[in-house]
């Protein structure tokens, strides 16, 4: 058997020769991958760029990478930190961040955002991040993490807040945020004309061929065909005036639309996505005070769809500029979408308003330049179409066998039988995680670095 090779990306860094031993047991070919992975875990002594292929490393080196943590070597009391681990930000990826409540999922996602915001201008100004935050924890990234200044010093880092974090909230909840002294940069609303009848049918969980869905679709499409702006009240008036709809149907739809109207986020004229998402910024759509998950998915689906549309157009213009030898002018930035509580936005067992748009990003987003980060306690509850497209997993401790099996499906051809052992052997220290890198077909044990910015997502305590 050849000696195991240590690599940065897929570039050889050193070559270790096992000690000669006449009693050495040589693994069979089908077990050799697992042996090499174990060997790499035990002797992690090089810097790693997660997600960067050999070809990209040879071409770009370590440009456009984010420092997310350090390798953990050893187990139990012998565990210690070694070299740095970086994340490839040069190209879009589909990343799953999973773990039990309080394990560090959102914390590690914020570390990735910090690294994006810390990139050199030549890279940062071509990118944007968009966070769909139903928990309400990313606004605090505007402030430095002074509470962990000693820990940061141990890591040779300094507390820092980020002005490029832009927080948008539903207009009707703005007063609540201001009363709580939570900094907000603006409000979010969407135009009714930008939605489809299917969006409403999924949001209201209507039977596609039922009377409610048919009446809603008929009247909504009729207003769309008028080529005029219209409001929810106009839609209600159209439905109540429909001679073919039953009274019970009219009353039920009126009730549903009245509730939707009360949230104040769907209006006759809403924000343009291209005006909210700007190069070099991380936009936070804080939906934590928007209690309706149906409205959250409705709005998130529309924003995701519009981002894909903008990037498809921009990508074509970028290619035409290259063909003509012109200076590249990016009309809409390469965008990463981050979904907190992703199992609610793209669930495994049903379709919601945002499902199709997120699944399309997972399948097709890389080519136009859209990355995806899904954060969840329950990876088994995230739709398989997203899981199957995942190329990087950051996982903290999991106990559910269904959730572990969901991670298995990412790594279909190697190390499946060992995954549960790796997760269970994670040190009990805060920030310990495994990273599954499908580009390199490797697994790493990593300690996520401390945050530079303030973390508001910890468990509440009395003092």
DSSP 263-299: T--EESS---HHHH--TT-EEEEE-TT---HHHHHHH
Cα–Cα distance for residue pair 463/127, rounded to 1 Å = 40
What pLDDT shows up at residue 418?
A: 67
Determine the pLDDT at residue 411: 66
Give the pLDDT score at 323. Answer: 87
Geometric angle at alpha carbon 166, from 372 and 263, rounded to 5°: 85
- Please, which residues bridge with residue 266 across strands? 190
Per-residue 3-state assignment (H helix, E strand, C coil) for 355-400: HHHHHHHHHHCCCCCEEEEEEECCHHHECHHHHCCCCEEEECCCCC
What does the pLDDT read at residue 324? 81
Instruction: With H, G, I as helix, E, B as strand and everything else as coil, classify residue 424.
Output: helix
Contacts of 58 (CB under 8 A, 6+ apart): 11
Measured distance CA(101)–CA(94) in Å, rounded: 22
Query: Which of the four pLDDT bands, split at 50, 70 and 90, describes residue 413?
Result: low
Q: Which residues pair with 166 in a beta bridge?
A: 283
Both structure tokens of 422 = 């790796």
* The length of the chain, given as a count of residues: 463
Coil/strand/helix, residue 52: coil
Please give the average per-residue pLDDT across 24-41, as a whole number.
42
Phi first, then psi, for residue 260 (nearest 5°) are: -60, -40
Q: Are 280 and 164 in contact (CB under 8 A)?
A: yes
Domains of the chain (ranges; CATH) run 5-189+271-448 (3.40.50.300), 192-267 (no CATH)
Can you give the pTM of this predicted structure? 0.86
What string of H, E and C letters represents the secondary structure of 157-210?
Answer: CCCCCCCCEEEEEEHHHHHHHHHCCCCCCEEECEEHHHCCHHHHHHHCCCCCCC
In three-state secondary structure terms, 75 is: coil
> What confidence tier does 16 reach under pLDDT thresholds 50, 70, 90?
very low
**What confidence tens digit (pLDDT) does each residue in 335-375 have?**
999 999 999 999 999 999 999 999 999 999 999 999 999 99
Q: Return d(Cα 127, Cα 333) in angstroms, integer.
A: 5
Mean pLDDT score of the chain, rounded to an integer?
86
pLDDT class for 263, splitting at 50, 70, 90? confident
Query: What's the Cα-to-Cα distance from 106 to each of 313, 349, 359, 396, 444, rounded to whole Å?
Result: 32, 24, 21, 11, 19
Lowest model confidence (mean pLDDT) among 279-283, 401-405, 459-463? 459-463
Checking if the pLDDT of 462 tops 50, the result is no
- pLDDT recorded at residue 340: 98
Which pLDDT band holds residue 4 (cuts at 50, 70, 90)?
A: very low
Would you state the structure tokens that stand for residue 315, as one six-digit string?
């990508």
pLDDT in tens, 377-405: 999 999 999 999 999 999 998 767 788 77
Cα–Cα distance for residue pair 64/59, rounded to 1 Å: 12
The winner for highest mean pLDDT among 79-83, 282-286, 414-418 is: 282-286
CA 209 to chain centre: 33
Taking Cα atoms as reference points, which of 255, 248, 197 lies closest to residue 225?
A: 197
Place 23 in a pLDDT band, splitting at 50, 70 and 90.
very low
How far, in Å, CA of 77 to CA of 102, rounded?
Answer: 23
Cβ–Cβ contacts within 10 Å for residue 458, how many? 10
| Between 65 and 12, residue with greater pLDDT | 65
Asked if residue 223 lies in contact with residue 234, where contact means CB atoms within 8 angstroms, the answer is: yes
Q: For residue 106, is pLDDT > 90?
A: yes
Please give the structure tokens belonging to residue 160: 């820092």
């Amino acid at each position: 058997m050849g000696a195991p090779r240590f690599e940065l990306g897929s570039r050889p860094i050193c070559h270790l020769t096992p000690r000669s031993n006449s009693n050495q047991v040589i693994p069979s070919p089908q077990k050799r991958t697992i042996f090499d992975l174990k060997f790499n875990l035990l002797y992690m002594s090089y810097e790693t760029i997660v997600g960067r292929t050999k070809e990209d490393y040879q071409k770009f080196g370590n440009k456009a990478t984010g420092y997310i943590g350090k390798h953990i070597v050893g187990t139990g009391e012998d565990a210690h930190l070694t070299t740095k681990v970086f994340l490839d930000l040069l190209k879009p990826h589909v990343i799953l961040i999973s773990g039990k409540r309080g394990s560090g999922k959102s914390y590690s996602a914020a570390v990735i955002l910090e690294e994006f915001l810390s990139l050199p201008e030549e890279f940062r100004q071509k990118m944007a991040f968009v966070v769909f935050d139903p928990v309400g924890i990313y606004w605090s990234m505007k402030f430095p993490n002074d509470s962990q200044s000693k820990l940061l010093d141990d890591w040779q880092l300094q507390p820092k807040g980020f002005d490029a974090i832009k927080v948008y909230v539903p207009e009707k909840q703005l007063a609540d945020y201001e009363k709580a002294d939570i900094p907000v940069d603006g409000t979010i609303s969407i135009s009714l004309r930008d939605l489809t009848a299917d969006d409403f049918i999924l949001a209201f969980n209507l039977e596609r061929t039922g009377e409610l869905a048919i009446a809603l679709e008929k009247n909504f499409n009729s207003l769309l065909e008028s080529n005029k702006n219209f409001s929810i009240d106009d839609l209600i008036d159209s439905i109540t005036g429909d001679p073919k709809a039953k009274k019970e149907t009219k009353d039920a739809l009126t009730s549903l639309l009245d509730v939707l109207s009360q949230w104040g986020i769907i209006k006759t004229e809403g924000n343009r996505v291209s005006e909210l998402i700007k190069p070099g910024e991380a936009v936070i759509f804080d939906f934590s005070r928007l209690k309706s998950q149906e409205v959250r998915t409705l709005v998130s689906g529309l924003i995701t769809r519009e981002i894909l549309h903008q990037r498809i157009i921009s990508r074509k213009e970028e290619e035409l500029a290259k063909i003509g030898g012109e200076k590249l002018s990016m009309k809409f930035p390469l965008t990463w979408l981050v979904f907190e509580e992703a199992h609610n936005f793209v669930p495994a067992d049903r379709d919601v308003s945002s499902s199709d748009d997120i699944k399309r990003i997972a399948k097709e987003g890389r080519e136009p330049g859209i990355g995806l980060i899904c954060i969840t306690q329950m990876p088994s509850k995230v739709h398989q179409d997203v899981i199957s497209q995942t190329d990087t997993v950051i996982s903290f401790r999991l106990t559910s066998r269904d959730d572990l099996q969901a991670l298995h499906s990412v790594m279909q051809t190697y190390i499946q039988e060992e995954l549960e052992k790796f997760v269970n052997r994670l040190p009990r220290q805060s920030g310990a995680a495994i990273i599954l890198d499908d580009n390199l077909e490797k697994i790493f044990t990593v300690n996520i670095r401390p945050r530079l910015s303030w973390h508001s997502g910890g468990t509440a305590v009395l003092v």
